[in-house]
């Protein structure tokens, strides 16, 4: 899942006129626990493949977290807007 342009604008990594996002570089150090190594061995993965898998999972969790933050912000913005107080009978 890749964040959309609107997601990047809302999170502050991109301004509406920008061509490329200003995402701070995040250095992640991935290490394998004994259970990770056992899992990799059981499934025929190398240590590097297991590290890559863990990195992909971390990135996916960050994207999901950011989308939840955006959804909560949009919900808060909607309920604070005048449109939310309009009732049609």
Residue 1 in tokens: 């899942």
* Domain range for 45: 28-64
Q: What number is the average pLDDT over the span 85-89?
A: 59
Q: How far apart are CA 83 and CA 52, in angstroms?
A: 46
> In percent, how much of the chain has pLDDT > 90?
26
Backbone dihedral region for residue 46 (phi beyond 0: left; psi -120 to 50: alpha; all else: beta): beta
Count structural domains, the chain.
1
* pLDDT at res. 47: 94
Full-model pTM:
0.56
Residue 39 in tokens: 């899992």
Of 2 and 60, the one with more pLDDT: 60
Q: Give the DSSP letter of residue 80.
A: T
Quick: pLDDT tens for 11-52: 777 776 666 656 666 777 888 999 999 999 999 999 999 999
Q: Could you tell me if 13 and 22 are in contact, meaning their C-beta atoms sit under 8 angstroms apart?
A: yes
Domain annotation covers residue 46:
yes
Domain annotation covers residue 83:
no
Domain annotation covers residue 60:
yes
């Amino acid at each position: 899942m890749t964040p959309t342009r609107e997601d990047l604008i809302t999170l502050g990594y991109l301004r509406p006129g920008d061509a490329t996002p200003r995402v701070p570089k995040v250095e992640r150090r991935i290490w394998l626990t004994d259970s990770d190594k056992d899992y990799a061995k059981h499934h025929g993965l190398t240590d590097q493949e297991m590290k890559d898998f863990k990195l992909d999972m971390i990135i996916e969790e960050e994207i999901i977290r950011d989308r939840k933050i955006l959804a909560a912000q949009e919900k808060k913005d909607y309920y604070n807007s005048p449109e939310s107080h309009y009732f049609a009978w």
